[in-house]
Amino acid sequence: MPVGHDVCFAAAWRKRYRHLAAVFAAIDNAVSGSLKSATELTPVSQGAPLAQALGIRFPIIQGPMTRVSDVAEFAAAVAGAGALPMVAFALLKGDALDKLLAKTTELLGERAWGIGLLGFAPQSLLDEQLAIAIRYKPDYAIIAGGRPDQAVKLEASGVPTFLHVPSANLIRSSSRKERAASSSRAANAAATSGRCRASCSGRRWSTSCKTRSMRRRRRPKSCSSSSPAASTTPSRRPWCR
């Protein structure tokens, strides 16, 4: 059946709104409500809570892009503008990756930066990439199509990690599996906590889950959400347990 990306909301919206008229009303209310919240709370302003938590000027994370953000000068430009650059690894390895990270470290100095990985890449490649990356101590990482167990490995190396998945359902499913697996390693599980974030770009929505070591930066006291429709989720915060 030819359907769009919004089909992922169908089951939840049917249960909550029952008929299309209520869905359209909820969208209208969310549009006006989000504009009002944006002007009052200025969630993407300089020094916003998320920016403070990440150690950058603006609460903006540049998505890793192959053949675009795998250039040290690009990362430096993003950091210079106040956002958080993510250096795309894609299938880079060996000397090429080592040189990229060495130059990135040199150009960025004390400014925060991160690395972008492909969670569905061969495990042998990911292991090699991580072994090289950890030597350069990136501040953050984001894993496209990642799994909680991959984030745990990075967290154990001292790198706070975002997971990028196409649907919130995958986060819930992965979290359940991870909790089940963690029952046999309670000591390690007790050292980590999970937080989820919703973000958007135009009409395409993605959900990321960030696991952070409890010894790292503290959670912002307040922050506003950029949820697609406030009526679809009760919470207005981007960080949620």
Q: Amino acid letter at 219?
A: R
**pLDDT digits over 196-221, tens only?**
333 333 333 333 334 333 334 444 44
pLDDT band, very low/low/confident/very high, at 173 (cuts 50, 70, 90): low
Write the Ramachandran bin of 90: left for phi over 0, alpha for psi from -120 to 50, otherwise beta.
Answer: left
The range of the structural domain enclosing residue 168 comes to: 43-232
Structural element, H or E, at residue 111: none
Radius of gyration of the chain (CA): 19
Whether residue 170 lies inside any domain: the answer is yes
Q: How far is CA 136 from CA 4, 16, 80, in A?
A: 41, 48, 20
Predicted local distance difference test score (pLDDT) of residue 139: 95
Whether residue 96 lies inside any domain: the answer is yes
Pairing of strands 140-144, 161-165: parallel
CB atoms within 10 A of CB 97: 21
User: Among residues of the chain, what percentage have pLDDT more than 90?
Assistant: 46
- Burial (Cβ within 10 Å: 0-12, 13-18, ≥19) of residue 77: middle
Predicted local distance difference test score (pLDDT) of residue 178: 56
Residue 13 above 70 pLDDT?
Answer: yes
Residue 29 above 70 pLDDT?
Answer: yes
Report the SS3 class of residue 135.
helix
CA atoms within 13 A on the CB side of 130: 25
Residue 107 above 60 pLDDT?
Answer: yes
Whether residue 237 lies inside any domain: the answer is no
Whether residue 209 lies inside any domain: the answer is yes
Predicted local distance difference test score (pLDDT) of residue 201: 36
Model's pTM, two decimal places? Answer: 0.62
Whether residue 240 lies inside any domain: the answer is no
Residue 177 above 80 pLDDT?
Answer: no
- Burial (Cβ within 10 Å: 0-12, 13-18, ≥19) of residue 36: exposed
Q: For the chain, how many structural domains are there in total?
A: 1
Q: How far is CA 202 from CA 24, 27, 145, 191, 226, in A?
A: 19, 15, 20, 36, 12
Residue 98 sits in a domain whose CATH number is: 3.20.20.70
**pLDDT digits over 50-95, tens only?**
999 999 999 999 999 988 999 999 999 999 999 999 999 999 999 9
Whether residue 183 lies inside any domain: the answer is yes
In the chain, beta strands by DSSP E: 86-88, 114-118, 140-144, 161-165, 192-201, 204-213
